[in-house]
Amino acid sequence: MTAEQQLRLAIVDVGRRLYQRGLIVAGDGNISARLPDGTLLITPAGLCKGELTPEDLVVISLDGELLRAAPGRRQSSEQQLHLHTYRCRPDVQACVHAHPPTAVALTLVGMDLTAPLLPEAILALGPVPTAPYARTGTVELGEVVGRLVVDHDALLLAYHGALTLGPTPLAAYFQMEQLEHCARTIHAACQLGLPQLLPPERIAELQALRATHRYHAAAQRGLPAEHR
């Protein structure tokens, strides 16, 4: 099986997981991965991502040009999210954009996931900023995201959804799953009272541990020091 065939299967699997977990509905969301030749494999526009076949995925260039697609298939209207991410982050190999309901709800009331409240969030996600609203499918949306993905592996999109990055489609999916779980936990805490931050020394401890894990993971993938 070729690398492209494996990635096609992985993206289809992630689409099904997102749909089954309620992180997307109908034709929402999109998933992409970087192919060995530098082009991108991305989900098509208009189809339910929980019902894709490997043949539905399309190949585009880093300039957004459609290179290969089955008849009737075209690239996602939100390809700018992915294009700007890959241009800004040579280390990123896969992106998942979904509409996790609790995480999106937080953006509607002006909350974000930057506060160091949950140890697992600090370790798995780091601080999760919120990109300002930009209309879906526009270059503007890609640009506002591009400014944030340089330093973050997960972010919220105000009024819209979330974007997570990873070395594989499955890893990026797990980031999305973790993000929504943290959002649900914080939402529940807010119903009970005012959430309390971890002590500063514990936060620093967790941040150092996350940095070490990221460095070693990048080294294992053979990335140069500037991208670790």
pLDDT of 104 strictly over 50:
yes
pLDDT score at 82: 95
Q: State the fold for domain 3-196.
A: L-fuculose-1-phosphate Aldolase (3.40.225)
Tokens of 122: 């600090």
pLDDT tens, position by position, 64-81: 999 999 999 998 889 999
Model pTM score: 0.89
Residues with active-site annotation: 78
Q: How many CB atoms lie within 10 A of CB 101?
A: 15
Q: How far apart are CA 92 and CA 145, in angstroms?
A: 14
Residue-range domain boundaries for the chain: 3-196
Tokens of 191: 């119903």
In sequence order, what are the beta bridge partners of 162?
A: 98, 156
Q: What angle do CA 105, 107, 113 make, to 5 degrees?
A: 100
- Kindly provide the residue ranges of all beta strands, DSSP E only, lying in the chain, ordered along the sequence: 30-34, 40-42, 58-60, 66-68, 94-98, 130-131, 154-157, 161-166
Alpha-carbon span 56 to 169, nearest angstrom: 16
Q: How far is Cα 49 from Cα 53, in angstroms, rounded to an integer?
A: 9
- Kindly tell me if the per-residue pLDDT of 214 is higher than 70: no
Number of continuous H segments (helices) and E segments (strands) in the chain: 7, 8
The tens digit of pLDDT for each residue in 3-59 reads 999 999 999 999 999 999 999 999 999 999 999 999 999 999 999 999 999 999 999
The span from the CA of 210 to the CA of 126, in Å, is 8
Residue 79, phi-psi category: left (phi > 0), alpha (psi -120 to 50), beta (remainder): alpha
Distance of CA 63 to the CA centre of its chain: 20
Could you read off the pLDDT of 151-180 as tens digits, one per residue?
A: 899 999 999 999 999 999 999 999 999 999
Position 97, amino acid: H
- The overall average pLDDT reported for the chain is 90
Report the distance separating Cα 102 and Cα 82, nearest Å: 23
At 218 the pLDDT is: 54
Interval 185-202 mean pLDDT: 88
Long-range contacts of 198-203 (CB under 8 A, 24+ apart): 198/116, 198/117, 198/119, 198/122, 202/119, 203/116, 203/122
